[in-house]
Amino acid sequence: MTWRRFGGDRGQAFPIYVVLVAGLLFAALAYFTIGKAAIVRSNAQGAADAAALAAAREARDTLAPGIDLATLSPEDWEQVLLGNRFATSGGACVAARDFAAMNDATATCSRSGTRFSVRSTTNGTVGDSVVPGTSGKHGEADATAEIVPRCHIKPGGAGSGGSSAPTPESPEPIKFSCAKGVVVDYDPAQPRAWRSLAAALFDIRLID
């Protein structure tokens, strides 16, 4: 009589055990999916950040065609420092798309002055999932980078007070007063590449 009662209890417990194991397996798969979705989203954000920074850097490093630094007046230099003399061609957004591709993603890019906004979409997906609405979903993210001036023409420095523009025959050196007390010199008689000078005159940062 006791043996039969024990066997009956075991028979009743088995369905509960099956339901419990199934629930645990579902929870494990759901957590796995959530984790994978988080990774895909993180990849998308990384691609967007890199692409936006690449666009801003490419724009900063490329002046408008025809600009000769040796002939710029102080007023012209102020416009350069305001970011009004960067090239407006599509090279910046090309750089954004290239960097997104390096991060296994695609990107759309737009420009507003010295700001570059990017939306990236990962090529990879979450994959098959037990969580409704996540199967095959791509990661998406947005990022905006800005070129920020960090210098101005140093008061009293060479090239800061004359009203006439220097000439190629007698170019005047320019001194820039920058953040944290840094002074940057530019001597047209011994020019340096704009890419190197631009890195000293401007910061690039991600913004909300």
Q: How much is the pLDDT for 17? A: 58
Q: How much is the pLDDT for 145? A: 97
Number of CB atoms found within 10 A of residue 37's CB = 18
Segment 167-197, tens digit of pLDDT: 545 567 889 999 888 999 988 888 788 999 9
Number of CB atoms found within 10 A of residue 176's CB = 22
Residue 37 has pLDDT above 80, yes or no: no
Segment 130-172, tens digit of pLDDT: 455 556 688 899 999 999 999 999 875 555 444 445 454 556 7
Q: How much is the pLDDT for 89? A: 84
Q: How much is the pLDDT for 5? A: 52
* Paired tokens of 147: 């070129």
Nearest to 74 by CA among 183, 196, 192, 171: 171
- Weakest mean pLDDT among 29-38, 57-66, 98-107, 147-156: 29-38
**More confident position, 65 or 21:** 65
Q: How much is the pLDDT for 173? A: 85
Check: CB of residue 82 under 8 Å from CB of residue 147. no
Q: How much is the pLDDT for 161? A: 44
Q: Where are the domains of the chain?
A: 2-207
**How many alpha carbons lie under 13 Å from residue 73 in its C-beta half-sphere?**
7
- Weakest mean pLDDT among 73-82, 97-106, 114-123, 127-136: 127-136
Q: How many Å apart are CA 184 and CA 172, to the nearest integer?
A: 14
Verdict on whether the full-model pTM lies above 0.85: no
Segment 44-96, tens digit of pLDDT: 999 999 999 999 999 999 999 988 888 888 889 999 999 999 998 889 999 99
Structure-derived torsion over alpha carbons of residues 80, 84, 88, 92, reported in degrees to the nearest 10:
70
Q: How much is the pLDDT for 25? A: 59
Q: How much is the pLDDT for 129? A: 47
